[in-house]
Amino acid sequence: MTMPHSYDVIIVGAGPAGLAFARALAGTRLRIAIIDQSPAATLAAPPCDGREIALTHRSIATLQRLGAWQRLDPAHIAPLREARVLNGERSFALSFAGPHEGDRLGSLVSNHHIRRALFQSTVDQTGLTLLAGTNIRGVRTDADAATVLLDDGRSLSARLVVGADSRFSFVRRQLEIGAQVNPLGRSMLVARVAHAAAHRGIATEWFGHGQTIAMLPLNAPRVSSAVLTLPSAAIDRLAALDGVALGAELTRRFRARLGAMAVLEGPHVYPLTTTYAHRFVARRAALVGDAAVGMHPVTAHGFNLGLQGAVKLADLIAEAAQHKRDIAGDILLRRYEAAHRLASAPLYASTNLLVRLYTDDRPVARIVRPLALRAAARLPMVRTAIARRLMQQ
């Protein structure tokens, strides 16, 4: 006789992907548990982590469907009207804008605001149990159930376990799913800065020799998020500077394109590692978000990709539940894996290629980079296609 499960679905990780997945299952009558090591108070009011998320129109529509977009303060949503790419010392910039004048490429919202909105839209969902401040020490699956062992000795079972617990996923390791894990030896420093000139809603990505620096336009016309990528030791030295010295250093590194900068918040430092799981599913288990694919932040696709993958899996499960089919059946899980691999593999490969090309300071790469930018600039159809991709992903 089969013992009843504690839940239908157990989600490990209450980040954006885990919360979006849970919220997309609202109305299915499934019993869902979300386990996260952070206390409930932190999940309800996440601290500022400095990261600004470039949301595509598709992601905004998804957040609206989940009831999260409506919970964001409009003052926290910044329009992204254009993106420019610069290379080295050259003044030439490759520009991406919407296909029609006045179109937004997307919107910029702070990561902690999105997390709070997703939590608020999910926490009181019927059939959902939040196990906050809880650590897990084991995950195993068999033909009938997924079992999650908690640090306090409890054992929970479900028809499906979903790992949404970061690019260094414990669930992924427990399921013995391998992954490409690529520590890049570089770190990203992010800080909110005020500057003298208006940004006009334009994001700039400058691949300089030995550094990458981006300026992301925020809602105030003279406030941006500065994102600097350097070898990790160099970033650690900059992060130790006081606010005045760091502002001066960011001004110098951006060649005062927006005038003098003053640090308003931060810095925050993130060592860069990309990951790609060899499989996104296992017996009665699936991976979503960074646990499946951890993108390099340079193209800003990671959040959007993770959100769409989580919702895709949830939609397949909701359909199965409606027709009283197994919500963790092999065919269902393989459909999710195939769809998410089709969406993620080209982006992951092209992003890594872009990073290698524009962080390679060998003479050949320095010659190729400006040629590639100018070739793209001469092909309006290519620029329009990329812009549409940025808006829709």
Rounded-to-integer distance, Cα 386 and Cα 185, Å: 29
Q: What is the tens place of the pLDDT at every residue in 12-27?
A: 999 999 999 999 999 9
More confident of the two residues 259 and 91 = 259
User: What is residue 368's predicted lDDT score, i.e. its pLDDT?
Assistant: 52
Rounded-to-integer distance, Cα 229 and Cα 51, Å: 13
Report field, pTM of the whole predicted structure over 0.85: yes
More confident of the two residues 115 and 297 = 115
Token pair for 197:
């000139």
DSSP letter, residue 210: T
User: What is residue 350's predicted lDDT score, i.e. its pLDDT?
Assistant: 78
CB 21, CB 310: distance < 8 Å: yes
Q: What is the tens place of the pLDDT at every residue in 268-317?
A: 999 999 999 999 999 999 999 999 999 888 767 889 999 999 999 999 99
Rounded-to-integer distance, Cα 1 and Cα 18, Å: 32
Tell me the pLDDT band of 361, cut-offs 50, 70 and 90.
low
Q: What is the tens place of the pLDDT at every residue in 172-231?
A: 999 999 999 999 899 999 999 999 999 999 998 887 767 889 999 999 999 999 999 999
Name the one residue in this structure whose structure tokens are 């919107």. 107
Tell me the pLDDT band of 367, cut-offs 50, 70 and 90.
very low
- In this predicted structure, the answer to whether residue 127 has a pLDDT above a threshold of 70 is yes
- In this predicted structure, the answer to whether residue 370 has a pLDDT above a threshold of 70 is no
- In this predicted structure, the answer to whether residue 377 has a pLDDT above a threshold of 70 is no
- In this predicted structure, the answer to whether residue 351 has a pLDDT above a threshold of 90 is no
- Euclidean distance between the first and the last CA atom of the chain, given in angstroms as a whole number: 46
Rounded-to-integer distance, Cα 47 and Cα 196, Å: 28
**Quick one: average pLDDT of 341-370?**
68
* Domains of the chain with CATH codes: 7-71+112-181+274-355 (3.50.50.60), 79-107+184-272+362-392 (3.30.9.10)
User: What is residue 371's predicted lDDT score, i.e. its pLDDT?
Assistant: 47
- In this predicted structure, the answer to whether residue 82 has a pLDDT above a threshold of 90 is no
- In this predicted structure, the answer to whether residue 76 has a pLDDT above a threshold of 80 is yes
Rounded-to-integer distance, Cα 367 and Cα 364, Å: 5
324 exposed, middle or buried (CB, 10 Å; 0-12, 13-18, 19+)?
exposed
- In this predicted structure, the answer to whether residue 318 has a pLDDT above a threshold of 50 is yes
Rounded-to-integer distance, Cα 180 and Cα 324, Å: 36
- In this predicted structure, the answer to whether residue 99 has a pLDDT above a threshold of 70 is no
